[in-house]
Structure 1
Amino acid sequence: MNEVIIRHDLSPGPDAEQFAERLSERVARRIDKLEGSAKMIDYAFSTANLAMRAHCVADPRAAAVETWESTVNSMQLGSAIFALLGAAEGAVECRINRKLRTIPATGPMSTADAGTWLSAFWLAVICRDQDR
């Protein structure tokens, strides 16, 4: 027997797409700053996750390119956190937001916990990125 679960009543208002787009612009600015310092990568990751969720509210079928791009940005940032965690010195090359970036290594970070790992893993599964 099949069950249909009706989605929460989150009727996307007229501002939903604009809100999601503003968040995506903020994410892009935070990503661009990572090459100078990776100290704020956890904020970039959390903002990217918020932007992805906002795009999903505005686009419930997740059919728009912007929704996909926000999901990929979240996945790439989550992966970058753990790449940076494994390097105590030097820099790490990570592809984020369509660009190969050289980000200074941070070494251990408190943000790289089990919850962040699960989010990064979940995003890699959604994006079908086997290597991540």
Structure 2
Amino acid sequence: MIVPRQDYPKNEMAAVVPVMEKSLSESLERIETSHNSRADAVMESLNVALVRTVGDPGAVMLETWESWLLAMQVHSAVFAAAASDLETVTCKIRQEERHLATTGPQPYLNAETWLDAFYLAMICREAARLDMLARIPVSLLRDFGGALDEYTYAWVETLQSFWLRRDDLRTHLIRAVDLSAPEQARVVDAEEMSKLRYPPITMLYRYLRNDLAGFKEALADAVLWHKEYWTADEDRASNILGVVALGPLAIACLAKANGVPVEIESGYLPEALLDFAWRGEFDA
């Protein structure tokens, strides 16, 4: 099955990459001590990865992979700094050891950002960072603030239980499924809940049940709904967040790494990320 990605203005987006990279580099220079720079680096690092993927939909270029790796490093680092009891934590960012002062709760470190961090670590197959993220208390994520639908916390708990192989996985997964029903939406609207938030949950459910046909169908639905959502109007169609189906890609990476065939081709699921084509090329 092939699901083409919508067209983006590749030349225009390629032209802004140097500007975005410069802003990101400036944020990284101050990331050890500045809360504002950390918030900026989180947003900017993911945006750079997405913009690079516009012109490189398969993520086959070295620079594109490096941008995804950097986004993963930044997202993981800020959570490592937030959850530690030490005065500083040492994190590798752009192949440099950075010593980040610990922070405690911060507005930009909510459960939504945690999900992005976890997805990025799954895409990059970073077990140590997944271990760290899976041990961050959900109560701490609630303290980080922000109005979020309750499904978000149930989904976080599901992923944490899955990764740590806890006995309460089934309970959290069922709760996540129930709370991600469109009628449960309070902060996001019903369309976003059904087309963007729910699909990764049902993908994991099918994967855990070893339902290969169901997983294939769930992945296809996830990509099609992602496209439907991000092409519904002109504003969405130009939004950089639609370039990659981040949650479905992460679950697909998990499945493929464990022998489940992924039989869908789409720019929303960059092939080199899905296949982990740069395995062993970098010390993350």
Please indicate, yes or no, whether the TM-score normalized by the shorter chain is above 0.5.
yes
The aligned residue for residue 91 of structure 2 is: 94
Find the partner of 2:101 among 104, 110, 113. Answer: 104
The aligned residue for residue 10 of structure 2 is: 12
> Does 1:21 find its partner at 2:18?
yes
> Does 1:48 find its partner at 2:53?
no
Structure 1: stretches of 5+ with no match in the other structure = none
Shift, 1:78, TM fit: 0.7
Counterpart Cα distance in 1 of 2:8 and 2:16: 14
Shift, 1:5, TM fit: 1.1
Name the larger-Rg structure.
2
TM-score normalised by L of structure 1? 0.88
Counterpart Cα distance in 2 of 1:66 and 1:9: 21
Structure 2: stretches of 5+ with no match in the other structure = 130-284
The aligned residue for residue 112 of structure 2 is: 115
> Does 1:71 find its partner at 2:68?
yes
| Structure 1 residues 41-89: Cα deviation after superposition (integer angstroms, max 9, x where no partner) | 1111101111111100021111111111111111011101111111355
**Counterpart residue identity of residue 6, structure 1:** P
| Structure 1 residues 104-132: Cα deviation after superposition (integer angstroms, max 9, x where no partner) | 11111122211101100110011111111
Tell me, yes or no, if the aligned pair for 2:24 and 2:40 is still in contact at 8 Å. Answer: no
Tell me, yes or no, if the aligned pair for 1:37 and 1:103 is still in contact at 8 Å. Answer: no
- Deviant stretches of 4+, over 2 Å: 15-18, 35-40
| Aligned residue pair count | 129
TM-score normalised by L of structure 2? 0.43
The aligned residue for residue 80 of structure 1 is: 77
Percent identical residues: 30
